[in-house]
Amino acid sequence: MRISLLSWLFFYSYIATIFIITAVLVSGECQSHQQELLLGLGKTLNSSLSAKMRNWNQSTDCCSWGGITCDQSGRVIILDLSNQLISGTIDNSSSLFNLQHLQQLNLAYNTLSFSFPCGFDKLSNLSYLNLSNAGFTGQVPAEISSLTNLITLDLSVNLFLRDGRPLKLEKPNLKMLVENLTRLRSLHLDGVKISARGNEWCKWLSSLTNLEELSMSNCNLSGPIEDSLQKLKNLSIIHLDRNNLSAVVPAFLAHLPNLTSLRLSSCGLHGQFPREILQVRMLQSLDVLDNEKLQGSLPEFHHNGSLQNLVLSGTNFSRSLPQSIDKLVNLTRLDLSSCNFSGAIPSSVSNLQQLVYLDLSFNNFTGQIPCFDLFKNLARVDLSYNKLSGKIESFKWEDLPNLTRIDLRHNSLNGNIPSSLVALH
């Protein structure tokens, strides 16, 4: 009995020792010079409103601080101070650029008031860099192009948050920025003013063959969209809205097998929209809003469990809606307003039970309103400015618990308005 007890105590001590060693290896203990660098960074920032930086002090292990992740050796590898209401300056001499083991840096959505600093080339291990709406202004520095390990780069700017002070890609231009970033999978430059002649930006991007996400909304880009972009076979997200592309929609977009989101609103598009794009199996969202010269019609749909968001508002799409529209079983937003659709609204629309937002206003739809009593998620309906007819009270609007707004103006409807609709706006 004594032997077995000693054996048990030895075994317990051994396991406890292994556990302690493992815990130390996993969590790491902050190296002193790493802590000094972080404290130096903190002194240059106004972080009084930051929840993450509240416990940054000399007496605690910096690996336990908010926004900090360390490796097993106690070196800082992730710094995430996004959405922290931080102000102040990060200039070229900032101690931030001496945290040379950083792999991920996120300063998004702060108010750092300084021109874009040039020290990022020292952070050569970065694979993730998110400076979207961080507050930096002026020219994007050439040093960013030396971060050859980058997989994600987000420099997006919302000008409504920036008092009209843009980021620019002039010298260096977009070509110089991306030519060495061949590992990029995600590139977000929304709102960055890009200097490019014509559509040469397409050729510059075509070398990024690993790219999966391309978001360059409101970047002063010109069209047409070149076929060279079809080299980017892995693209799943393409957001080029609010650029003056003045072009037709290229058919090769229908041959990107992983395409999930295509946003080309307010781009001056014209010609015939390739119907095959609407049949891409992985497509979840299509938005071509406000392209008044863009023509097209909806195809016959096969079963599609992917498409959730379909926005064609302000285009010249026409003809009738296909009865097979009910094959879009997960559609939550259908906005076909201000187009030239005609004919009856197909009864199969009633099967789109995931719909939350339905806008068919300003078209030429005729006939009766289909029954909506199965639309348990429906919150907004706009059927105004059509040629619909029939009695209003025959529809079971009271069975729509989430309905907050309905607009049936300027139709040929008759009958009494149900009491359940009176309170809606």
**pLDDT per residue over 246-296, tens digit each?**
999 999 999 999 999 999 999 999 999 999 999 999 999 999 999 999 999
User: Any idea where the domains of the chain sit in the sequence?
Assistant: 269-425
62-85 average pLDDT score: 96
Q: Can you give the pTM of this predicted structure?
A: 0.89
d(CA 217, CA 328): 27
pLDDT at site 17: 44
Each residue's pLDDT tens digit, 282-324: 999 999 999 999 999 999 998 878 999 999 999 999 999 999 9
pLDDT at site 292: 98
Asked whether the predicted pLDDT for residue 25 surpasses 50, the reply is: no
CA atoms within 13 A on the CB side of 187: 28
d(CA 136, CA 141): 11
Domain 269-425 CATH superfamily: Ribonuclease Inhibitor (3.80.10.10)
Confidence of residue 163 (pLDDT cuts 50, 70, 90): low
Sign of the Cα torsion 378, 384, 387, 388 reads positive
pLDDT at site 162: 55
Question: In this structure, how many other beta carbons lie within 10 angstroms of the beta carbon of residue 424?
Answer: 15
Confidence of residue 1 (pLDDT cuts 50, 70, 90): very low
pLDDT at site 298: 97
121-137 average pLDDT score: 96
Which position has the token pair 């997200």?
Answer: 237
Confidence of residue 19 (pLDDT cuts 50, 70, 90): very low
d(CA 345, CA 329): 17
CA-closest candidate to residue 66, choices 49, 79, 48: 79
pLDDT at site 373: 75
pLDDT at site 304: 79
pLDDT at site 161: 60
pLDDT at site 425: 56
pLDDT at site 77: 98
Confidence of residue 16 (pLDDT cuts 50, 70, 90): very low
Asked whether the predicted pLDDT for residue 9 surpasses 50, the reply is: no
d(CA 70, CA 29): 8
Each residue's pLDDT tens digit, 370-423: 888 778 899 999 999 999 999 886 555 777 888 999 999 999 998 877 766 665
Confidence of residue 103 (pLDDT cuts 50, 70, 90): very high
Confidence of residue 18 (pLDDT cuts 50, 70, 90): very low
Confidence of residue 5 (pLDDT cuts 50, 70, 90): very low
pLDDT at site 172: 87
pLDDT at site 417: 73
CA-closest candidate to residue 305, choices 324, 273, 330, 286: 330
pLDDT at site 22: 39
d(CA 291, CA 309): 17
pLDDT at site 394: 55
Sign of the Cα torsion 156, 162, 163, 168 reads negative
Helix (H) and strand (E) counts for the chain?
A: 5, 29
Q: Which residues contact 32 (CB under 8 A, 6 or more apart)?
A: none
Which position has the token pair 């939550």?
Answer: 332
pLDDT at site 2: 42
pLDDT at site 10: 45
Asked whether the predicted pLDDT for residue 351 surpasses 80, the reply is: yes
d(CA 161, CA 240): 20
Asked whether the predicted pLDDT for residue 46 surpasses 60, the reply is: yes
Q: Put residue 268 in one of left, alpha, beta given phi > 0 → left and psi -120 to 50 → alpha.
A: left
Sign of the Cα torsion 390, 396, 397, 400 reads negative
CA-closest candidate to residue 198, choices 220, 165, 229, 230: 220
pLDDT at site 201: 96
DSSP state of 172: S
pLDDT at site 132: 96
What average pLDDT does the structure give for the chain? 90
pLDDT at site 164: 57
d(CA 405, CA 423): 9
Q: Report helix, strand or coil for 380.
A: strand
